[in-house]
């Protein structure tokens, strides 16, 4: 849907974000400022099938420490369509699933990325397992809402994944778009399955 | 069913009062004084003493407005909003509750035919309407399922047994090549009366979109035929036969990428009722009421090679025999009734024809305690076979402060049964691949999918208990003042609905998509204030005005925001921030403020009256724009707007009258957000009576 008062909203929201940006800067002055918030744009996670047919295809694997897509076993999380898996636990049982070699896990926290400063309790971390996703799939369950009327996938604001990496480090991340170049208002024709996410990688500690 | 609307149309009247404008206004004045309503109690009650919030739209005001479809009339009333939905219909929002919770009746009989949950009001021509009665608030104690937000009862002209042949014919021409022709004939003998009403309506529709293939509203035409017979067997026994036949044809088009599809959508509707009134004695009356209705909707799309691409069908039948008794004990009245509902539905996405059966009984006592007090108590019990049975009580209290002012309060229970889709749907989305299953078929279908190896895992939901109806508690507290030229009423209302039905994923398919079914999940509440006033300055000039303040929210969301669990994402910086409780705006499609002002001015010297109406609706949201699936104050909103409608009525000699009008005078449009607002429409109409 195209919005008629779009520009007005842009203006209002820009003003608003100016203020929130300021306050974020203040928050960051608390000792972990050496950690960098990175944005990884347009991680392409295609899938085959769909449209009622069985889904398949290679997962796109990502490593936080390398800030890059990887093809070896050093991955922490991997993407295919709206499905996200972690490098830890056992096979879920879906087609073309990569072998898990690490000890990764994820804890899902409702908060802003900046406000997550500590590692959540160990009991809140989940791994993939037979017929179980560490990051639940489906609209409203995990990281996104799907609008059946507009066919738009929207990452839920304030869903932060604290990821235990394959080698036991931590990263916190928030997915901010599922569309190429993260348009503010994606349309049904926007190119899809392009993840943009913000994250902070903590190579040696348990605070962000 | 495509969206179709707002084409200014014809209107007309079979009312002899229409001829002389002076008589009209006097009639209006006196009729207000003894305003009677039947919808609240199924007995004749004066509006002043009935302890329920009500509204009456007189036939006179409908005629003066020049409007002719029900949706157009409804949206001119205080506190009523017409809301377009995805299925193409336009339903009524009452007290901030969705159109799905409003029961629409014609002469006391329920209308059917909701393909996407909303009954499309534009199906109803208002040309032969005597009046429209609206009872706000839960009314399930009399009407059962769906009468949760309120009841709208369209009362058509009564058949008279006079020996004269009477009738009228009129024609209206409006913008968008819209034609509307109506005619009615009345004839009677001492013991029998006959009336025939017919209406034909045709329009080219309109287009607000940029596409030059698919229009916002595609061209359509429809006709309505309504024959009525009344037979007086004796002073004590009479029989009424009412029929309504409705047929609509509309172009249906779709564009998928560069592929263009064309087709038609058709609606056939038939309502038939037989009513036998028997006055057993002066104090005891029996009514035998038999009602049957059928609603059929069929549509198809062909591709460019004229091969069938898609089609869907819906065929719904409803039968209801009911017996009511009215027993008078002094001033007090006891009303009881028993009946049986039988409903069947066949449609695309249902595996087989489904049946819904229930039996019910209701009782009501109107107790005039003392000079100043009256009490209304009622209940209804519905024994449903396909979902949980329901007991719906209601109590109302009226206190007459003095001759001019009375206080009213009421408390009632309302419910809406799960619709047949929520119970029996079996739908697979062909483009994405998800499945939606009705609650009653979900367990069986899921097992079937599992045995076919289509299911990766299930989420462990249990379907052994029946799905519960959505149920509400409604409270009203109001007052009614009337003295000389001024009348005024107010009502404070509160509604809370529990067990709202929504979808949840019950399993995941091997294709990565989910299987959904329906569950009782949400809880919402609405509260607000409605005000109405009218004042007659002199015999030629009257003014009325109305206002509604409304808050409508989802309790689950309120709780989540209070726990700090809801965030919004700034669409520019893509940074998330936590919402405060005061940031929550509420449910979609609700405006905090709606208001209207209506003026009627008569110039006797030229037998011309001018009728002007101005409407305001404050901003509201129709979608989330900052990634939290709720409406908060940082979202984009549909801007608040004013609409102005103007009608001029002129009477000529020789039983002719003419009308000239414009709807949406200042041509307000919001192409992307308000598809049911077509822009300015001019119309003219001429009527002849005999």
Contact B566, B573 (CB under 8 A): no
Nearest residue in chain A measured CA to CA from B619: A5
Check CB contact of B642 with chain A, cutoff 8 Å: no
Interface test with B, best of A1, A13, A16 (most B CBs within 10 A): A13
CB distance B433–A111 less than 8 Å?
A: no
Q: What is the pLDDT of residue B100?
A: 85
Q: With beta carbons less than 8 A apart as the criterion, state whether B415 and B471 touch.
A: yes
**Are B639 and A158 in contact (CB < 8 Å)?**
no
Contact A52 B637 (CB under 8 A): no
Closest CA to B13 of B142, B169, B198: B169
Q: Quick one: which of B204, B219, B129 has its CA closest to B174?
A: B204
3-state secondary structure of B76: coil
Q: Please list every residue in chain B whose beta carbon sits closer than 8 Å to the beta carbon of residue A176.
A: 569, 574
Beta carbons of A45 and A60 less than 8 angstroms apart: yes
Question: Is residue A188 packed enough to be buried (19+ CB in 10 Å), middle (13-18) or exposed (0-12)?
Answer: exposed
Low-confidence ranges of chain B (pLDDT < 70): 1-34, 85-89, 115-117, 431
ipTM of the predicted assembly exceeds 0.90: no
Q: Which residue of A has its CA nearest to B509?
A: A54
CA A163 to chain centre: 10
Beta carbons within 10 angstroms of residue A150's beta carbon? 13
Of B505, B512, B574, the CB nearest to A141: B505
B457–A49 C-beta distance less than 8 A: no
pLDDT of residue B4: 36
Backbone angles phi, psi at B71, to 5 degrees: -60, -35
- The residues near B339 (Cβ < 8 Å, ≥ 6 apart) are B289, B320, B321, B322, B323, B359, B360, B361
Residue A89 or B2, more confident = A89
Measured between beta carbons, which residues in chain A are less than 8 angstroms from residue B568? 157-158
pLDDT of residue A2: 37
| The pLDDT value given to residue B158 | 85
B336 contact A CB<8A:
no
What is the DSSP code (8-state) at residue B445?
Answer: H
Asked if A157 lies within 8 A of B627 by C-beta distance, the reply is yes
Q: Which of B255, B458, B573, B630 to mutate to test the interface with A (most CBs of A within 10 A)?
A: B573
What is chain A's mean pLDDT, rounded? 83
A47 to chain B: which residues are within 8 Å by CB? Answer: 512
In chain B, residues with a C-beta closer than 8 Å to the C-beta of A111 are: 567, 578
* Nearest residue of B to residue A49, measured between CA atoms: B511
- Mutation target vs B (from A148, A157, A184; most B CBs, 10 A cutoff): A157
Mean pLDDT of A115-142: 90
Domain regions of chain B by residue span: 16-689
B566 vs A contacts (CB less than 8 Å): 110, 157-158
Distance CA A58, CA A53 (A): 16
CB contact under 8 A, B505 and A52: no
φ, ψ for residue B196, nearest 5 deg:
-130, 125
Q: What does residue B513 show for φ and ψ, rounded to 5 degrees?
A: -95, 165
Among the partner-chain residues B86, B430, B570, the one whose CB lies closest to the CB of A149 is B86
Inform me whether the C-beta atom of residue B652 falls under 8 Å from chain A C-beta atoms.
no
pLDDT band at A146 (very low <50, low <70, confident <90, very high): confident
Residue B417 carries which DSSP code?
P
Tell me whether residues A111 and B505 touch, CB distance under 8 A: no
How far is B59 from chain A, CA to nearest CA, in Å? 38
Mutate to test the interface with B, among A2, A138, A151, A192 (most CBs of B within 10 A): A138
Binary contact (A110, B572; C-beta < 8 A): no
**Beta strand residue intervals within B432-540, DSSP E:** 435-437, 455-458, 470-483, 486-509, 514-538
The answer to whether the Cβ–Cβ distance between B571 and A4 falls below 8 Å is no
- Residues B71/B103, Cβ–Cβ less than 8 Å: no
Q: How do beta strands B681-689 and B641-651 pair?
A: unpaired
B430 touching A, CB under 8 A? yes
**Whether pLDDT at A10 is above 50:** no
Cβ B31 vs Cβ B58: under 8 Å: yes
Question: Residue B196: exposed, middle, or buried by beta-carbon count in 10 A (0-12, 13-18, 19+)?
Answer: middle
Torsion of CA B146, B147, B150, B154, to 10 degrees: 90
Interface test with A, best of B3, B434, B511, B584 (most A CBs within 10 A): B511
Report the distance separating Cα B389 and Cα B359, nearest Å: 10
Candidates 2.40.170.20, 3.90.260.10, 3.40.50.10680, 3.20.20.80; CATH matching B16-689:
2.40.170.20
Q: Is B116 on the interface with A (CB under 8 A)?
A: no
**Distance (Å) from the alpha carbon of B66 to chain A's nearest alpha carbon:** 32
What single DSSP character describes residue A12?
Answer: H
Q: Which residues of B touch A21 (CB under 8 A)?
A: 573, 575
Count of CB pairs separated by less than 8 Å, A with B: 145
Chain B residue with the nearest C-alpha to that of A138: B514
The reported pLDDT for the residue numbered A5 is 45
A-chain residue closest to B579, CA distance: A158
- 3-state SS, residue B577: strand
Give contacts of B 505-524 with A, CB under 8 A: 505, 508, 510-514
Contacting residues for B389 by C-beta, under 8 A, at least 6 apart: B381, B382, B383
With CB atoms and an 8 Å threshold, state whether B569 touches A157.
yes
In chain B, which residues have their Cβ closer than 8 Å to the Cβ of A196? 574
């Amino acid at each position: 849907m195209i919005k008629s008062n779009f520009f007005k909203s842009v203006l209002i929201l820009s003003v608003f974000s100016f203020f929130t940006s300021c306050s974020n800067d203040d928050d960051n002055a608390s000792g972990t400022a050496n950690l960098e918030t990175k944005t990884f744009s347009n991680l392409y996670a295609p899938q085959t099938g769909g449209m009622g047919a069985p889904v398949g295809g290679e997962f796109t694997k990502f490593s936080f420490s390398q800030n890059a897509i990887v093809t070896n076993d050093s991955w922490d999380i991997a993407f295919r369509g709206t499905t996200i898996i972690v490098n830890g636990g056992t096979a879920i049982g879906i087609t073309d699933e990569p072998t898990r070699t690490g000890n990764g896990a994820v804890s899902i926290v409702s908060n802003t990325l900046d406000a997550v400063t500590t590692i959540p309790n160990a009991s809140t971390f989940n791994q993939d397992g037979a017929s179980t996703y560490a990051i639940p799939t489906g609209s409203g369950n995990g990281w996104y809402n799907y609008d059946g009327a507009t066919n738009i996938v929207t990452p839920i604001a304030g869903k932060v994944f604290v990821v235990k990496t394959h080698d036991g480090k931590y990263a916190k991340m928030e997915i901010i778009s599922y569309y190429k170049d993260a348009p503010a208002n994606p349309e049904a024709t926007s190119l899809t399955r392009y993840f943009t996410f913000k994250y902070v990688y903590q190579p040696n500690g348990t605070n962000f | 069913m495509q969206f179709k609307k707002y084409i200014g149309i014809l209107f007309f009247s079979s009312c002899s009062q229409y001829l002389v404008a002076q008589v009209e206004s006097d009639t209006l004045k006196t009729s207000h004084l003894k305003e009677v309503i039947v919808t609240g109690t199924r007995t004749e009650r004066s509006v002043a003493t009935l302890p329920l919030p009500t509204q009456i739209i007189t036939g006179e005001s409908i005629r003066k407005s020049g409007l002719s479809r029900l949706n157009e009339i409804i949206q001119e009333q205080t506190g009523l909003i017409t809301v377009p939905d995805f299925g193409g219909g336009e339903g009524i929002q009452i007290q901030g509750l969705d159109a799905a919770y409003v029961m629409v009746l014609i002469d006391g009989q329920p209308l059917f035919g909701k393909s996407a949950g909303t009954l499309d009001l534009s199906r109803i021509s208002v040309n032969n309407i005597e009046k429209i009665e609206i009872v706000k608030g839960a009314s399930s104690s009399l009407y059962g399922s769906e009468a949760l937000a309120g009841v709208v009862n369209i009362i058509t002209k009564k058949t008279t047994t006079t020996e004269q042949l009477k009738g009228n014919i009129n024609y209206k021409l409006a913008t968008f090549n819209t034609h509307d022709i109506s005619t009615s004939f009345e004839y009677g003998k001492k013991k029998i009366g006959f009336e025939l009403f017919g209406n034909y309506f045709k329009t080219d529709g309109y287009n607000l979109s940029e596409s030059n293939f698919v229009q916002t509203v595609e061209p359509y035409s429809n006709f309505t035929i309504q024959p009525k017979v009344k037979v007086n067997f004796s002073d004590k026994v009479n029989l009424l036969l009412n029929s309504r036949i409705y047929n609509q044809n509309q172009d249906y088009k779709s564009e998928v990428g560069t592929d263009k599809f064309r087709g038609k959508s058709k609606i056939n509707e038939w309502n038939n009722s037989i009513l036998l009134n028997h006055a057993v004695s002066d104090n005891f009356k029996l009514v035998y009421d038999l009602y049957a209705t059928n609603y059929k909707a069929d549509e198809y799309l062909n591709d460019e090679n004229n091969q069938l691409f898609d089609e869907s069908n819906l065929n719904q039948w409803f039968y209801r025999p009911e017996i009511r008794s009215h027993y008078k004990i002094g001033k007090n009245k006891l009303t009881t009734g028993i009946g049986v509902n039988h409903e069947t539905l066949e449609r695309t996405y249902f595996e087989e024809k489904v049946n819904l059966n229930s039996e019910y009984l209701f009782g009501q006592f109107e107790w005039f305690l003392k000079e100043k007090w009256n009490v209304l108590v009622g209940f209804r019990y519905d024994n449903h076979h396909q979902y949980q049975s329901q007991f719906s009580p209601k109590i109302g209290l009226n206190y007459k402060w003095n001759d001019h002012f009375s206080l009213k309060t009421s408390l009632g229970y309302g419910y809406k049964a799960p619709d047949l889709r929520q119970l029996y749907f079996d739908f697979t989305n062909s483009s994405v691949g998800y499945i939606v299953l009705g609650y009653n078929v979900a367990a069986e279908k899921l097992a079937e999918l599992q045995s076919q190896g289509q299911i990766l895992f299930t989420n462990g939901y249990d379907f052994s208990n029946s799905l519960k109806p959505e149920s509400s508690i409604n409270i009203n507290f109001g007052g009614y003042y009337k003295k000389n030229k001024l009348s005024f009423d107010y009502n404070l209302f509160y509604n809370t609905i529990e067990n709202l039905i929504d979808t949840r994923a019950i399993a995941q398919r091997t294709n990565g998509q989910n299987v959904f079914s329906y569950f009782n999940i949400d809880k919402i509440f609405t509260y607000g204030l409605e005000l109405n006033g009218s004042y007659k300055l002199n015999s030629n000039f009257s003014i009325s005005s109305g206002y509604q303040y409304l808050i409508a929210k989802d309790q689950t969301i309120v709780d989540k925001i209070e726990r700090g669990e809801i965030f919004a994402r700034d669409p520019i910086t893509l940074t998330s921030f936590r919402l405060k409780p005061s940031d929550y705006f509420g449910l979609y499609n609700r405006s905090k403020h709606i208001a209207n002002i209506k003026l009627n001015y008569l110039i006797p010297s030229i037998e011309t009256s001018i009728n002007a109406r101005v409407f305001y609706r404050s901003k509201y949201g129709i979608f989330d724009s900052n990634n939290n699936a709720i409406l908060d104050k940082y979202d984009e909103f549909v801007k608040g707007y004013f609409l102005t409608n103007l009608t001029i009525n002129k009477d000529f000699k020789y039983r002719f009258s003419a009308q000239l009008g414009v709807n949406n005078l200042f041509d307000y449009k919001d192409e992307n957000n308000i598809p049911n607002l077509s822009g300015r429409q001019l119309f003219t109409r001429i009527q002849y009576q005999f």
